[in-house]
Amino acid sequence: MTRGGGAHRDGPGRALLMLAAPILLLLGVPLVALAVASSPSDLLAGIRSPVFAPALWLSVRTTVASVAVVLVGGTPLAWWLASGEGRAVRIAEALVDLPIVIPPAVVGIALLETYGRSGLFGAQLTALGIQVPFTTLAVVLAQVVVSTPFYVQAAAAAFRRVDRDLLLVARTLGQTRRGTFLRVALPIALPGLVGGAALAWARALGEFGATLLFAGNLPGTTQTMPLAIYAALESDVKVAVALSLVLAGASVLLLFALRMAPRAWSAFHGTTEEHA
């Protein structure tokens, strides 16, 4: 009976695996092809290209800045979405989700029509001597717009998992709303916030369409790594492969960190509780 039951349980699993195998291969094989596309010498030659370092440094600077903006503005927004109710919350959630469903190229055009010379705020910005399109600031703005939903969604989900009784107890013990948020809700939701921030960073790092249309592809100013890959394909495929491998490597490390962070956090808290 036990063997038969085990075989019966394994049967559907194997059948599902067979059905899922084409998708798994479709996801995994291109990464393997990218990894074996060039030799170590080709990779080193691509890294030594004059395009590589400026694009990498610009991507690091702009993504760090954009994630900082997302954290500062997105955390209170996520807390409000998680604790609030009503039509205003539903409208705000829809606005947050829009950059996910709208194509990045459309986002780029929308930003251009907002901050360009003939855009919604173009006259005011020009009067102040501020030019946003085709600058590094434009890169940051594009990254903020496309990456914010990934952080806000993850942060709101983390805040919703916080036990409301703990918040009520904190208030009855004299904590203010701000103190309850900072000392109770924020530490409990921290793993989810870190995961959301990592997803936002990954999305900002890989942003292409909105950046190309709103910021352009100016080496040293707006040419991030995805744009450098696009430009390198027309002249030097080795550089494109090198940049792609660096981006893929960063994504793999980020995915590994996201998988390990909750376990490390749980282990840390378990050790702390035992000592306490």
DSSP letter for 121, please.
T
**218 has pLDDT over 80:** yes
Give the largest CA-CA distance in the chain. 82
Token digits of residue 77: 């927004």
CATH fold label, 46-275: MetI-like fold (1.10.3720)
pLDDT at 255 > cutoff 80? no
Distances (CA, A) of 241 to 8, 27, 60, 182, 206: 46, 18, 19, 44, 15
Tell which residue, 194, 207, 222, 56, has the closest CA to residue 143. 207
Q: What is the mean pLDDT of the chain?
A: 86
Residue 263 is predicted with a pLDDT of 65
Per-residue pLDDT band for 249 (boundaries 50, 70, 90) equals confident
Q: What is the mean pLDDT of residues 89-99?
A: 93
Does 269 have pLDDT greater than 60? no
More confident residue, 59 or 5: 59
Residue 47 has a pLDDT of 81
Rounded to an integer, what distance in angstroms lies between the CA atom of residue 56 and that of residue 175?
45
273 confidence band (pLDDT: 50, 70, 90): very low
Rounded Cα–Cα distance for residues 228 and 192 (Å): 32
What's the pTM? 0.84
CA dist., res. 154 & res. 156, Å (int): 6
Chain segment 143-165, per-residue pLDDT in tens: 999 999 999 999 999 999 988 88
Burial class, 272, CB count within 10 angstroms (exposed 0-12 / middle 13-18 / buried 19+): exposed
Q: Has residue 1 got a pLDDT over 60?
A: no
